[in-house]
Amino acid sequence: MERRFPGLPAVVIVGLLVCGLVGAANSFGPSTATAGERPSTTAGLGLAVPLTSASLSISPDTLDLGQSISVQTTPDGGTAPYTYEYFGLPSGCSVEESQSFHCQPSVAGSFSVYVNITDAADNQTNSNTVSLIVEPSLQVSLSLNPGTLTEGQSLQVSTSVSGGSGQYSYEYTGLPSGCQGYNSASFSCTPSSTGGYSVGVNVTDTNGGYVDSNTQNVQVNSASSGGDGGSGGGNNSSNPLSGLLSGLSGFVSLIIIFGIIGFVTWILLIVGVWVVAVVLIRRLPKNGANTAPAAAPMVKCGSCSATIPGGSKFCPECGASTVPKSG
């Protein structure tokens, strides 16, 4: 004969009601646990979201050596806490193992960076790969030519830049009037003010990197000061004419030069005429002087009666020595 348990259905029904009431109390009743501390229903049921991927971002991804970057990693899924292992970071940033950080690369180059993430359940995933470019630091050199010039002459300004990236902008300081406001690596200008100037330039690139150049001195002299400003006294004493002409304008200098040439020519002409006159006067006969010498008297040879000049000792006809006879 089959035995029956008349109380079994009632026990099952009561158990189901108790479980339902406990579940409702946990779901809707007051709780002091925060949202982050409240156990996940899906986790309690063994349905935890797997660690599927992670997002890596680096800002900026192009910079100059000496600048800093910001690194941020965002995991997708998995169970906290997470561990981070970065690969490809340059020196100066390779020791960080946190979700986000700042660092300053200490070497230039191109780098491919990614991060490997492991969650509390020992699940792992790799992030996307980010290209990081670290440019060499900016280097700049300034030159001015000439270092000393006269007002009205041209000044050549040249800036040499290396490192950095993109476009450069130039901000010059200390230039004289007439040379200000330029934003280029090289230019020519004409100073409109005199004096001594100490010139420099600040160069900025596209990444925001900047550097100050060396300083160069330039001296602009007045056109009427003679160039050396009196420092060349010894030269002026050895060549007074050169020192005088160096302080005058070109037009006045030409007038003085041609005047000196004309004066010297005039003096030489007068001296020449005087010399010629003296020579001619010396060659002219004096007043009252005979213009021709007197003729010698003629006599006859005593031996052959030939006519011979008076005073002759020998007769050219006969060769005799004779005393001439008069008449």
Same domain? 123 vs 148:
no
User: Is a pLDDT exceeding 90 seen at residue 37?
Assistant: no
CB 308 within 8 A of CB 322: no
Question: Helix (H) and strand (E) counts for the chain?
Answer: 5, 18
Mean pLDDT of 4-8: 54
Same domain? 120 vs 146:
no
Same domain? 130 vs 176:
no
Residue 15 counted as domain residue: no
- pLDDT for residue 168: 95
**pLDDT tens, 131-151?**
999 999 999 999 999 999 998
Strand spans (E) along the chain: 53-59, 62-64, 69-76, 83-87, 100-103, 109-118, 124-126, 130-135, 139-145, 148-150, 155-162, 169-173, 186-189, 195-204, 210-212, 216-221, 298-300, 307-309
Give 163's pLDDT tier (boundaries 50, 70, 90).
very high
Residue 58 counted as domain residue: yes
Same domain? 116 vs 150:
no
Same domain? 214 vs 154:
yes
Q: Give all strands of the β-sheet with 139-145 in edge-to-edge order.
A: 139-145, 155-162, 186-189
Residue 29 counted as domain residue: no
User: Is a pLDDT exceeding 50 seen at residue 101?
Assistant: yes
**pLDDT tens, 40-95?**
444 444 566 888 889 999 999 999 999 999 999 999 999 999 999 999 999 999 77
Point out the domain boundary residue: 135, 150, 173.
135
- pLDDT for residue 10: 66
Nearest to 207 by CA among 161, 138, 142: 138
- pLDDT for residue 56: 96
User: Is a pLDDT exceeding 80 seen at residue 228?
Assistant: no
Point out the domain boundary residue: 196, 221, 246.
221
Residue 33 counted as domain residue: no
More confident residue, 181 or 28: 181
Point out the domain boundary residue: 135, 159, 184.
135
Same domain? 146 vs 212:
yes
Mean pLDDT of 7-13: 61
- Evaluated on CA atoms 144, 146, 147, 151, the torsion sign reads negative
Residue 287 counted as domain residue: no
- Amino acid at position 142, single letter: L
**pLDDT tens, 105-132?**
999 999 999 999 999 999 999 999 999 9
The tally of domains found in the chain comes to 3
Residue 169 counted as domain residue: yes
Residue 65 counted as domain residue: yes
- pLDDT for residue 216: 94
Same domain? 128 vs 155:
no
Same domain? 96 vs 131:
yes
Same domain? 107 vs 145:
no
**pLDDT tens, 262-320?**
999 999 999 999 898 888 887 776 665 555 556 668 887 777 877 888 777 778 778 77
- pLDDT for residue 235: 42
Q: How far apart are alpha carbons 79 and 8 in whole angstroms?
A: 43
User: Is a pLDDT exceeding 60 seen at residue 324?
Assistant: no
Residue 166's domain spans which residues?
139-221
Mean pLDDT of 320-326: 60
* Cross-strand partners of 299: 308
**CATH at 113:** 2.60.40.10
CB 288 within 8 A of CB 302: no
User: Is a pLDDT exceeding 80 seen at residue 215?
Assistant: yes
User: Is a pLDDT exceeding 90 seen at residue 173?
Assistant: yes
Residue 27 counted as domain residue: no
User: Is a pLDDT exceeding 60 seen at residue 22?
Assistant: no
The token duo for 315 is: 């007769």
User: What are the percentages of helix, strand and coil residues in the chain, rounded to 5?
Assistant: 20, 30, 45
Q: Hey, how many other C-beta atoms are within 10 angstroms of the C-beta on 95?
A: 10
- The three-point CA angle 107-111-117 to 5° equals 115
Give 223's pLDDT tier (boundaries 50, 70, 90).
confident
- Confidence (pTM): 0.51
Same domain? 130 vs 146:
no
User: Is a pLDDT exceeding 50 seen at residue 32?
Assistant: no
Q: Is 290 helix (H, G, I), strand (E, B) or coil?
A: coil
Q: How far apart are alpha carbons 188 and 181 in whole angstroms?
A: 12
Same domain? 126 vs 61:
yes
More confident residue, 321 or 246: 321
